[in-house]
């Protein structure tokens, strides 16, 4: 892929399981009723062809070429395995160029910025840059515009993450009984994203998050109940390093589970709810994720996989696999 404006940065400290990166509060859908972590579309990866219309929405995929590198400026990072140094919110990353491109795009991982290849804004960056602020950038707009823009970005990202989950739920045939509730919530969430800077900054996004999360949990339970046989409940479980190779996890709840470095190779995750699950360095080689619920690109990017990993059609195989 041609040199994008900049890839997405990771967040500061390694994200905790079930915790969405930023936002006024970091409650997660998993904590309350559903959620997932940040993600990013791998630099040269695009969504697969032929996926359901709702998941074909380009506005829910990061478009760095139409964003003023908000994730490289607005968010704080802590020096960690994901980000090589401390950076405060509102401070441009030292590697960000004046043209809003990343100066080390091709060497992010070896340079200690692995997290930058994982993060995903769900399309919030371009929405804030081109929509909310109508193409004004934080460099030339002055400090007041910059402050507002940086405050709006996490809220927009939160809303776009909800749009992703709602869109996925609406695309699931087995969620049809909930369409009457899902559609109005999706439309309401869409409307919120079109508010002005003040509307967005003053929005109680967590209250809206909780409303959506409650419905998504009901959808998840309904879909998972269609899976015959025992269904494992690992919600919020500490499964760090767990040996789950070849496990039958169909219909399991893994909401907010910590699966860091767990071995899920060859596991069947059909109808498994992965919202908010921490998949950093999780071995997904040969795993079947095609029918999983609420998996995001960021989760996939953070995990380990290969050509034998079966991924949902709306997501892209990470370039570093
Ligand atoms: S290294 Fe800096 S400029 Fe490059 S993607 Fe990460 S945060 Fe952005």
Instruction: Give pLDDT, residue 21.
Output: 32
Q: Which of 70, 98, 104, 119 for a ligand 1 pocket mutation test, highest count of atoms within 8 Å of Cβ?
A: 104
Tokens of residue 278, six digits: 């921490």
Higher confidence at residue 16 or residue 113?
A: 113
Instruction: Give pLDDT, residue 225.
Output: 95
Q: What is the mean pLDDT of residues 197-224?
A: 97
Please name the residue whose Cα sits nearest to atom 6 of ligand 1: 9
Residue 12 in contact with ligand 1 by CB distance below 6 A: no
Most confident by average pLDDT, 9-18, 20-29, 39-48, 252-261 = 252-261
Residues linked to residue 278 through DSSP beta bridges, in sequence order: 258
Please name the residue whose Cα sits nearest to atom 1 of ligand 1: 95
Instruction: Give pLDDT, residue 192.
Output: 98
- Rounded Cα gap, residues 177 and 199, in angstroms: 33
Count of Cβ atoms closer than 10 Å to residue 292 Cβ: 26
Ligand 1 atom nearest 94 alpha carbon: 2
pLDDT in tens, 285-297: 999 999 999 999 9
Instruction: Give pLDDT, residue 12.
Output: 34
Residues in Cβ contact with 50 at an 8 Å cutoff, skipping those fewer than 6 apart: 313
Instruction: Give pLDDT, residue 275.
Output: 97
Q: How would residue 55 be classed by pLDDT, with cut points 50, 70 and 90?
A: low
Q: What is the mean pLDDT of residues 61-87?
A: 95
Residue 87 in contact with ligand 1 by CB distance below 6 A: no
Instruction: Give pLDDT, residue 263.
Output: 98
Count of Cβ atoms closer than 10 Å to residue 184 Cβ: 10
Q: Which of 89, 107, 116, 301 for a ligand 1 pocket mutation test, highest count of atoms within 8 Å of Cβ?
A: 116
Q: What is the mean pLDDT of residues 54-72?
A: 88
Residue 17 in contact with ligand 1 by CB distance below 6 A: no
Instruction: Give pLDDT, residue 58.
Output: 85
Instruction: Give pLDDT, residue 53.
Output: 56
Q: What is the mean pLDDT of residues 171-199?
A: 96
Q: Which of 68, 80, 88, 93 for a ligand 1 pocket mutation test, highest count of atoms within 8 Å of Cβ?
A: 93
pLDDT, mean over the chain = 85
pLDDT in tens, 129-180: 999 999 999 999 999 999 999 999 999 999 999 999 999 999 999 999 999 9
Higher confidence at residue 230 or residue 179?
A: 179
Instruction: Give pLDDT, residue 314.
Output: 87
- Rounded Cα gap, residues 81 and 84, in angstroms: 7
Q: How would residue 57 be classed by pLDDT, with cut points 50, 70 and 90?
A: confident
pLDDT above 70 (res 49): no
**How many angstroms is it from 81 CA to the middle of ligand 1?**
14
**How many angstroms is it from 10 CA to the middle of ligand 1?**
8
CB 273 within 8 A of CB 254: yes
CB 321 within 8 A of CB 304: yes
The percent of residues above 70 in pLDDT, for the chain, comes to: 83
pLDDT in tens, 235-269: 999 999 999 999 999 999 999 999 999 999 999 99
What sign does the CA torsion over 44, 50, 55, 56 have? positive
Residue 118 in contact with ligand 1 by CB distance below 6 A: no
**How many angstroms is it from 95 CA to the middle of ligand 1?**
6
- Minimum mean pLDDT among 45-49, 56-60, 254-258, 309-313: which range? 45-49
- Rounded Cα gap, residues 6 and 29, in angstroms: 28
Euclidean distance between the first and the last CA atom of the chain, given in angstroms as a whole number: 16
The percent of residues above 90 in pLDDT, for the chain, comes to: 78
**How many angstroms is it from 142 CA to the middle of ligand 1?**
22
- Report pTM: 0.84
Count of Cβ atoms closer than 10 Å to residue 118 Cβ: 30
Q: What angle do CA 213, 302, 193 make, to 5 degrees?
A: 40
**Number of residues that this document lists for the chain:** 321
Instruction: Give pLDDT, residue 54.
Output: 55
**How many angstroms is it from 207 CA to the middle of ligand 1?**
31
Residues linked to residue 304 through DSSP beta bridges, in sequence order: 283
Instruction: Give pLDDT, residue 317.
Output: 94
Residue 242 in contact with ligand 1 by CB distance below 6 A: no
Assign 3-class secondary structure to the chain: CCCCCCCCCCCCCCCCCCCCCCCCCCCCHHHHCCCCCCCCCCCCCCCCCCCCHHHHCHHHCCCHHHCCCHHHCCCCECCCCCCCCCECCCCCCCCECCCCCECCHHHCCCCCCHHHHCCCCCCHHHHHHHHHCCCCCCCCCCHHHHHHHHHHHHHHHHHHHHHHHHHHHHHCHHHHHHHHHHHHHHHHHHHHHCCCHHHHHCCCHHHHHHHHHHHHHHHHHHHHCCCCCCCCECCCCECCCCECCCCECCCCECCCCECCCCECCCCECCCCECCCCECCCCECCCCECCCCECCCHHHHHHCECCCCCECCCCCCCCCCC
CB 18 within 8 A of CB 86: no
């Amino acid at each position: 892929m041609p040199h994008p404006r900049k890839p997405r940065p990771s967040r500061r400290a390694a994200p905790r399981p079930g915790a969405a990166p930023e936002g006024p509060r970091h409650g997660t859908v998993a904590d309350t009723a559903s959620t997932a972590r940040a993600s990013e579309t791998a630099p040269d990866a695009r969504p697969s062809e032929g996926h359901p219309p709702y998941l074909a929405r380009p506005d829910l995929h990061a478009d760095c070429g139409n964003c003023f590198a908000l994730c490289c400026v607005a968010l704080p990072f802590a020096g960690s395995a994901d980000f090589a140094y401390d950076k405060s919110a509102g401070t441009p990353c030292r590697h960000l160029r004046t043209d809003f491109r990343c100066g080390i795009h091709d060497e992010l991982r070896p340079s200690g910025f692995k997290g930058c290849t994982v993060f995903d804004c769900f399309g919030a960056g371009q929405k804030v840059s081109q929509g909310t602020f109508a193409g004004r950038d934080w460099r030339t707009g002055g400090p007041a515009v910059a402050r507002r823009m940086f405050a709006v970005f996490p809220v927009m990202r939160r809303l776009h993450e909800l749009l992703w989950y709602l869109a996925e739920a609406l695309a699931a045939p087995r969620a049809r009984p909930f369409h009457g509730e899902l559609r109005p919530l999706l439309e309401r969430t869409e409307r919120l994203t079109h508010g002005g800077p003040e509307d967005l900054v003053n929005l109680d996004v967590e209250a809206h998050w909780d409303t959506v999360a409650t419905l998504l949990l009901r959808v998840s339970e309904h879909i998972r109940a269609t899976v015959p046989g025992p269904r494992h409940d690992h919600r919020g479980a500490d499964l760090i390093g767990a040996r789950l190779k070849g496990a039958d996890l169909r219909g399991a709840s893994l909401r907010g589970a910590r699966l860091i470095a767990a071995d899920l190779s060859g596991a069947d995750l059909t109808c498994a709810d992965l919202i908010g699950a921490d998949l950093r360095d999780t071995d997904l080689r040969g795993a079947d994720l095609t029918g999983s619920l609420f998996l995001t690109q960021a989760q996939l990017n953070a995990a380990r996989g290969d050509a034998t990993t079966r991924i949902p059609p709306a997501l892209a195989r990470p370039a570093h696999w």
